[in-house]
Structure formats: structure tokens, C-alpha cells
């Protein structure tokens, strides 16, 4: 049974790897241009020049930028302290954003969590390690798709006797360790044998050491994913538009040489043309030197010389001219269409692809970002559920079974403009509970609870009005600075002064 699980897991890994490699290539911008002509492909590849513009990573980065964990807490202070300690010990302030990025880039990411025990078997710490879906895969139950039957991890190791394949199967009650025989490729069942632990000095090899029993109750691997049962890359819809952008940008760069140095022509009259005294380099802007590597510096590369008083004598040619290169708009206009298509397909606001362009504000911004914010909240729910599983498991290792864990995220979007605060005020005036109105504005529950502590409806309405006024003032000062009426420094000083006065007034009122 174990061997069949091993081979099935390896098959699943092998089948999934090409898609993960493709997703990573599009994120990194390593996708080659697609050519209809093999001859043209060889010609451009030989130059070794890369003009690709990588827009495909933007849908991933846009999501990851808004996946910021605000806090992970337990049901009481003791549980929260354990969570904080484990988080800090594993550097998760840095690791967690990377896990989110990998999950959004590839669709899947794994975190393997194992206890650190002292000599008596007591848990004194926890190790957490990210593992990519190229080497780790969760195998889900066909009967219950939400349940992980086991997790396989497969990798290569180089030893003195050569390269071997290693594999581990993580079950709910044990971990099995496998390795290939010398020379085995790992594709056949016969290639695999038990991977025994190295014996300590003076001890004999334990034939049962390939199995590590445990009582975790589940495989110690946690699956972050953008979908069920396996995720999809956030930028999978960008593959086609990115291919088109690659082709347009590279082809456009191919025409730039012709825009700077147009292709010329000379029409001859067969009856009168005499070109016997013309040299091959006479009409070459970049004639080769004796080594054939480039123009010489003798000044004699062409019989036509530019300068005051110079006369160009063209004998035997009926007319001359040049062939105009393609206009840049031929390439840039379709390129912008592909960017807009990419934004639409990946549910990413267009202004995130072009931060220098026109950025909407207020209600327009909220309307345009509505589907995107909904996607962010879906990712927060999915990843948040996995983080809860991780730290419930951690608390269980420390002897706190069935613990409650709460994951709080920085809001995907918050109200910070005049129109938004006026909307919040209208909601409160028309009977929407104060807490509900502020949470709908994108603020976390603990923030709202702190703000509303001891504040009645009238005071809340006054504060909302103040915030709306401040937002309106900031908007008008920004417009004045843009028109040159005031400088940016003056506008900032005026706004800071007004905020300081409001804070001072609030302090006086609180004391009275």
C-alpha cells in the first residue's frame, strides 16, 4: 500500500510540474517570443537581445501587496503568546509574504510544520519551512475532497556515490522515508527502497527507522491555495496577452533601427547608368573595416561627404529615396489593447498596470476596484483558514488541543476620501449601526471597537463630519498645489496644522 501511494504521488507531482514551471516563467518574464516563421525566430535569437516587457507579474503582485496579516491571536493571552513566539522564531514576518507570493504565482504553496523536542520528548519549539508545489503535493481523499490522505515530498540529493532521489510520505500517524537504489531513476517501483536512518556510533542499523511514528492526527503539511482542491495562478489569464505583448515589443524594437537609419534605394536607368566606379561601401552608413567588424576612421568610407561647400554628384541614378519604417503606433496601440485585456481577464484594475496614467479616485476608484477587492477578500478567507489550521496544530503540539485561532488582515480597501466619509455619515444617520458602517468602510473590528468605546451616536456623527471635512480640505489643497497656487510644502503644512488643532481640541473635550 505504501509503495503504491509513493508511485501515485510521484505521478501526480510529475503531471503537475509543467504547469508550475510555466507559471513561474510568466511571472519571471522568461517566456520566449512565439514566431510563425522558424527562420525569423533563429535570426532574432542569434542576436541575444531581449526586449520583452513583463506585464504578467502585475496581477500577482497586485494581490500579494494587499495580503497583509494584521494579527494572529488565540483565545487567551497564553495562546497568543505561544503564537507570537513561534511566529518570531521562524521569521514569519518575512516568510509569510513569500508564502502568499508563491501561492498566488503558482496557485499552491506548502508549509511543513514540525516540533522541536528535548531529550525527554517534550516540545520546546516548532520549525516551519516553506516547500514549493514542484516538490510537495497533497493527495486528497476521493471520498472526502476536503481531507488530505497523505502528502508526498520528493527531491534530489547529490552524494559521493552519485545523485539519488529522496521521498517522504506524510500521513496522519507516521512519516515514511524512501530513497532510490544506486543508479535508479525513480520512475519504477523497483527503483525505490526504504531510507533508513544513519546509525549512531557503535549502534547497528535499525531496519524500522524508515518509518517515524507520530500522534499529530494529520499530516504536518499545510496547503495554501487559490482554489480547491488545487489552485490556479493569479496570472494564468495573462499568458495569452503577454505572448502578444512580447511579440509586439520585440518586433517594434526591430523597426527602431530602420526609424533611426532608414532603408534607402536608388533607381537606375539601364541605358545611362554607369556604376563602375562605385565601391560597395559608398552608400553604407556603417561600412566594415578590413577585419569586417565595423566602419573605419579614415574618412574615406563614402564618396559622399557632408560639410559646408560639399557638392554631391550622383551619376547614372534616375532617382533616390528611402523606405519609411512602420509607425510606432502600429505596435504600441495593440500593445495597450493587450494590457487592457490582461486587466479584464485577471480582474486587476487597469491603473495598477500604469501608475503614471489617470488614476480614478473616490467612488470611481471603489467601483473599478470592486471585483478586485472581492478577489482579495476571497484570498484572505482561503489563506486565513490555512493559517488557522497551522496555529491550531502548533497549539496542539504545546498541549492545547481544540484551540481557537483568529487571523486578522489589513483591510483590502478602506474609506479615505470625502465622498466615502459622507457615505458613512449618511448610513449612520439613516439607522445603520455605527459598528457596521465603519466595518463596511474597511476597518478592522478591533479598530472599530476602540474608536466606539464610550462614544455615543452624536459624537460619532460629529467625528465622521470632521473626517469628511478634512478629506474635502485635503482634496482642495491638492488641487491648489497642482495649479501652483500653493506649494506642496505649504499645503502639507496647512493640513498638518489643521490636524494638530483637531487633536488638541479632542484632548480638551476629553478632559472636560
Separation of alpha carbons 104 and 24, rounded Å:
10
**pTM, two decimal places:** 0.73
Helix axes 362-397, 77-89, angle to 10 degrees: 100
Which candidate, 238, 254, 239, 248, places its Cα nearest to that of 335? 248
- Contacts for 332 with CB less than 8 Å, ≥ 6 apart: 248, 252
> What pLDDT shows up at residue 276?
58
Q: Can you give the pLDDT of all 512 residues of the chain as single tens digits?
A: 567 999 999 999 999 999 999 999 999 988 876 665 566 566 555 555 556 788 999 999 999 999 999 899 999 999 999 999 999 999 999 999 999 999 999 999 999 999 999 988 899 999 999 999 999 999 999 999 999 999 999 999 887 667 899 999 999 999 999 999 887 888 899 899 999 988 876 677 888 899 999 999 999 999 999 999 999 999 999 999 998 888 887 776 667 666 666 766 667 666 655 555 555 555 555 555 555 555 544 444 556 665 665 666 666 667 777 766 667 677 778 888 889 999 999 999 988 887 555 656 666 767 778 899 999 999 999 999 999 999 999 999 999 999 999 999 988 876 555 555 566 666 666 677 766 666 666 666 666 667 666 666 666 666 666 766 777 777 777 777 777 777 878 777 777 776 676 666 555 454 44
Write down the domain spans for the chain.
1-261+326-412, 263-291+303-323, 414-512
CA–CA separation, 393 and 424 (whole Å) = 40
pLDDT at res. 32:
72
Determine which helix (DSSP H) or strand (DSSP E) holds 463, and give its type and residue range: helix 457-483
The whole-number pLDDT of residue 398 equals: 95
Q: Any residues with CB less than 8 A from the CB of 165 and at least 6 apart, and which?
A: 154, 155, 156, 157, 179, 180, 184, 185, 186, 191, 192
Which residues are within 8 A (CB) of 487 and not within 5 positions of it... i.e. 6 or more apart? 481
| CA 304/CA 199 separation, integer angstroms | 85
User: Is the backbone of residue 211 left (phi > 0), alpha (psi -120 to 50) or beta?
Assistant: beta
Amino acid at each position: 500500500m505504501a509503495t503504491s501511494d509513493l508511485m501515485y504521488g510521484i505521478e501526480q507531482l510529475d503531471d503537475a510540474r509543467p504547469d508550475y514551471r510555466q507559471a513561474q516563467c510568466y511571472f519571471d518574464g522568461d517566456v520566449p517570443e512565439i514566431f510563425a516563421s522558424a527562420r525569423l525566430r533563429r535570426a532574432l535569437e542569434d542576436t541575444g537581445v531581449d526586449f520583452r516587457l513583463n506585464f504578467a507579474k502585475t496581477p500577482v503582485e497586485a494581490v500579494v501587496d494587499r495580503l497583509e496579516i494584521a494579527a494572529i491571536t488565540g483565545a487567551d493571552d497564553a495562546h497568543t503568546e505561544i503564537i507570537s513566539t513561534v511566529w518570531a522564531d521562524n521569521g514569519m514576518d518575512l516568510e509569510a509574504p513569500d508564502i502568499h507570493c508563491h501561492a498566488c504565482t503558482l496557485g499552491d504553496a506548502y508549509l511543513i510544520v514540525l516540533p522541536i523536542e528535548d531529550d525527554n520528548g517534550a516540545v520546546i519549539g516548532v520549525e516551519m519551512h516553506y516547500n514549493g508545489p514542484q516538490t510537495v503535493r497533497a493527495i486528497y481523499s476521493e471520498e472526502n475532497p476536503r481531507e488530505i490522505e497523505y502528502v508526498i515530498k520528493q527531491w534530489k540529493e547529490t552524494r559521493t556515490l552519485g545523485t539519488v532521489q529522496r521521498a517522504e510520505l506524510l500521513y496522519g500517524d507516521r512519516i515514511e522515508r524512501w530513497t532510490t537504489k544506486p543508479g535508479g531513476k525513480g520512475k519504477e517501483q523497483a527503483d525505490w527502497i526504504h531510507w533508513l536512518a544513519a546509525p549512531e556510533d557503535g549502534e547497528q542499523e535499525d531496519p524500522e527507522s524508515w518509518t517515524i511514528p507520530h500522534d499529530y492526527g494529520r499530516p504536518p503539511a499545510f496547503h495554501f491555495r487559490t482554489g480547491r482542491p488545487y489552485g490556479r495562478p493569479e496570472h494564468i489569464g495573462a499568458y495569452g496577452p503577454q505572448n502578444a505583448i512580447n511579440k509586439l515589443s520585440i518586433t517594434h524594437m526591430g523597426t527602431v533601427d530602420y526609424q533611426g537609419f532608414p532603408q534607402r534605394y536608388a533607381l537606375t536607368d539601364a541605358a545611362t547608368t554607369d556604376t563602375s566606379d562605385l565601391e560597395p561601401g559608398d552608400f553604407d552608413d556603417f561600412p566594415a573595416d578590413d577585419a569586417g567588424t565595423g566602419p573605419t576612421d579614415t574618412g574615406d568610407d563614402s564618396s559622399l561627404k557632408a560639410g559646408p561647400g560639399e557638392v554631391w554628384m550622383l551619376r547614372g541614378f534616375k532617382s533616390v529615396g528611402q523606405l519609411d519604417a512602420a509607425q510606432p503606433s502600429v505596435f504600441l496601440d495593440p500593445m495597450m489593447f493587450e494590457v487592457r485585456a490582461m486587466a479584464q481577464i485577471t480582474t486587476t484594475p487597469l491603473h495598477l498596470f500604469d501608475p503614471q496614467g489617470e488614476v480614478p479616485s473616490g467612488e470611481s476608484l471603489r467601483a473599478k476596484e470592486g471585483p478586485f477587492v472581492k478577489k482579495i477578500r476571497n484570498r484572505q478567507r482561503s489563506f486565513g483558514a490555512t493559517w488557522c489550521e497551522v496555529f491550531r496544530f502548533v497549539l496542539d503540539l504545546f498541549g492545547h488541543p481544540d484551540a481557537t485561532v483568529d487571523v486578522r488582515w489589513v483591510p483590502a480597501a478602506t474609506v479615505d476620501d470625502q465622498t466615502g466619509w459622507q457615505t458613512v455619515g449618511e448610513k449612520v444617520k439613516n439607522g445603520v449601526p455605527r459598528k457596521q458602517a465603519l466595518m463596511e468602510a474597511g476597518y478592522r473590528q478591533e479598530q472599530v471597537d476602540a474608536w466606539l468605546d464610550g462614544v455615543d451616536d452624536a459624537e460619532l456623527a460629529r467625528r465622521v463630519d470632521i473626517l469628511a471635512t478634512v478629506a474635502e480640505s485635503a482634496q482642495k489643497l491638492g488641487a491648489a498645489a497642482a495649479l501652483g497656487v500653493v506649494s506642496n510644502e505649504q499645503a502639507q503644512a496647512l493640513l498638518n496644522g489643521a490636524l494638530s488643532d483637531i487633536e488638541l481640541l479632542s484632548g480638551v473635550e476629553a478632559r472636560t
